[in-house]
Amino acid sequence: MSTTITHFINGAETVGSGDRTQPVYNPATGEATGELRLANRADIDDVVAAAKTASESWAETSLTKRVAVLFKFRELLAENVQELAKVVTSEHGKVVSDAAGEVGRGLEVVEYACGAAQSLKGEYSDQVSGGIDVFSFRQPLGVVAGITPFNFPVMVPLWMAPVAIVTGNAFILKPSERDPSASLFLARLWKEAGLPDGVFNVLQGDKEAVDGLLTHPDVDGISFVGSTPIARYVYETGTQHGKRVQALGGAKNHAVVMPDADMDLAADHINAAAFGSAGQRCMAISVAVAVGDAAEGLVAKLKERAEAVKVANGMEPDADMGPVITPQSKARLQKIVGEAQEDGAALVVDGRDLVVKDHENGFFVGPTVIDHVRREMSAYREEIFGPVLAVVRVASIDEALEIINSNPYGNGTAIFTSSGAYARAFTRGVKVGMVGVNIPLPVPVAWHSFGGWKDSLFGDHHIYGPDGIRFYTRGKVVTQRWPEPKQASGASFAFPSN
């Protein structure tokens, strides 16, 4: 049965006035399960108008009351982790435990936002000149929009909304068209938590909705997470229209394995980081860089582990990995693996033709490991965003660093080693935003901020954590004097000096 997936504007679900729709699929079965409404110009104007009105009173609401809503939202979210996880699995395909993990990482950001009273404290300088004091504080931007990717339909919106809202903004979420239902679940929880209507809204749609938000004069800030070409476009278009923009892009994450690493630990973690969520994570490890004689032991262990991954409908409790998001995604990665083979790479594990019993129409691909991948191959150059692990063999840590640093992406990376000296040289020398030492997915906890370098991030601010607070607010500095009655004014035509 196909359900209508609506917008959520000014506290209510609405089909809006657009007449375009798009099907939403369950990738494990290939069935269309929902019909998504796509916003038109009138829907965009409606949601921005509702958010603008709501932002004015919300910014005036005391910080204590705003934080109280965040605490209530935190409780509701914690109570609904499993239910929300199943909504994610039904449209994304990832296994339920992984979906619950994504809700958990989003919950961390809500908890960080609950501490906004501390994060928003200003600064004060007493008596900077005779009788003059200076204080600085931060105020909300107004209306901010979040444009999010399919691969984390709960976590990525929660990287943005809690911080934007607690700092006094109204928020418009434009979720991915592929798995939009979780956004409505979140909207209902915000309402139940007591958030005033219009402070959290959902606008469903495609490029038309995104362009409408990027150019609307009443939208003040844009947070984007998605692929690099769209991130670049969103950054350029949004900033040309005078908005503050942070746009997080794609990735190609390398894990370097030194010969002195614990090979079982490295293989276990690289396997999980390459194939968890079917490789559809912006922090997924897609390249293992084997240094020196690390390769022989490592590749054999990776083969063993990849072959043991249980691929199934993500709703099944013992599934390790579900399907990829679309048939197009499956076809694209099948093509790239074929090209690598033609170009002389060695196919160690080939998951291209995997069929899952009773799910013949599902978009499944099995874990795939390709050895002897070289930099000119499409399997190295492209962000595959699927369960494909490329192994590149190098002679030294310097060569590993050179490869990573000349890659256009710079989101995440990791080194597996038992040497502090190697780890230190790597963490200092690598041109990547988030680095793990014996940790394959170094996603920062919520009170640090998340962000890549190079083509993985356009804009000055990382997302959530302290950078999130800064992104969603602007600074104001007040220099004040309260002169005694009839005191000499001290005014001068010279530039004031202290």
Residue numbers annotated as active site: 282
What is the closest distance, in whole angstroms, from the C-beta atom of residue 456 to ligand NAD in the complex? 5
164: Cβ contacts below 8 Å, ≥ 6 apart: 144, 146, 171, 221, 223, 468, 472
In the complex, the smallest distance separating the C-beta of residue 443 from ligand NAD, rounded to whole angstroms, is: 9
> Cβ 185 to ligand NAD, closest distance in Å?
17
Closer CB to ligand NAD, 363 or 422, in the complex: 363
Kindly tell me which of 263 and 463 has the beta carbon lying closer to ligand NAD: 463
Task: Supply the minimum distance, in Å, between the C-beta of residue 57 and ligand NAD.
Answer: 28
* Strands in 362-439 per DSSP E: 368-371, 388-394, 409-410, 412-416, 434-437
Smallest separation (angstroms) from ligand NAD to the CB of 237: 9
Q: How far is the C-alpha of 155 from the C-alpha of 151, rounded, in Å?
A: 9
How many helices (H) and strands (E) would you count in the chain? 16, 23
Minimum separation from the CB atom of position 205 to ligand NAD (A):
7
- Residue number, 110 or 210, with CB nearest to ligand NAD: 210
Contacts of 488 (CB under 8 A, 6+ apart): none
Please list, in sequence order, all residues whose beta carbon lies within 8 angstroms of the beta carbon of residue 73, skipping any fewer than 6 positions away: 110, 162, 189, 190, 193, 195
Q: How many Å apart are CA 286 and CA 369, to the nearest integer?
A: 10
| CB-CB neighbours of 19 under 10 Å | 9
Binding site for ligand NAD (CB under 6 A): 147-152, 156, 174, 176-177, 206-207, 210, 225-227, 230, 248-251, 282, 383, 385, 411, 452, 456
Reduce the DSSP state of residue 224 to 3 states and report it: strand
Length of the chain: 498
Q: Give the residue among 316, 279, 368 at the shortest CA–CA distance from 28.
A: 316
Nearer of residues 55 and 223 to ligand NAD, judged by Cβ: 223
Residue in the shown chain whose Cβ atom is closest to ligand NAD: 226
Minimum distance between the CB of residue 483 and ligand NAD, rounded to whole angstroms? 52
Of 249 and 440, which has the nearer Cβ to ligand NAD? 249
Q: Which is nearer to ligand NAD, 189 or 225 (CB)?
A: 225
Q: What's the CA gap between 414 and 272, in Å, rounded?
A: 14
Comparing CB distances to ligand NAD, the nearer of 140 and 249 is: 249
* DSSP bridge pairs for 458: 247
For 99, residues 6+ apart whose C-beta sits below 8 A from its C-beta are 84, 85, 86, 88, 89, 92, 154, 314
Task: Supply the minimum distance, in Å, between the C-beta of residue 332 and ligand NAD.
Answer: 11
Question: In the complex with ligand NAD, which residue's Cβ is closer, 95 or 222?
Answer: 222
3-class secondary-structure state, position 317: coil
Measured from the CB atom, the residue of 362 and 459 that comes closer to ligand NAD is 459
Task: Write the DSSP symbol of residue 17.
Answer: S
Q: 277 or 417: whose CB is closer to ligand NAD?
A: 277
To ligand NAD, the closest distance from the beta carbon of 368 in angstroms equals: 18
Contact 411, 452 (CB under 8 A): yes
- CA nearest neighbour of 376 among 410, 332, 407, 405: 407
CA distance 112 to 417: 32
Cα separation, 455 vs 431, in Å, equals 11
State the minimum distance, in angstroms, from the CB of residue 457 to ligand NAD.
Answer: 7
C-beta separation of 187 from 170 below 8 A: no
Question: What is the distance in angstroms between the CA of the first residue and the CA of the last residue of the chain?
Answer: 73
What's the half-sphere exposure (Cβ side, CA atoms, 13 Å) at 180?
29
CB atoms within 10 A of CB 428: 8
Q: What DSSP assignment string belongs to 433-482?
A: SEEEES-S--PPPTTS-B--EETTEESS--BSHHHHHHHTEEEEEEEEE-
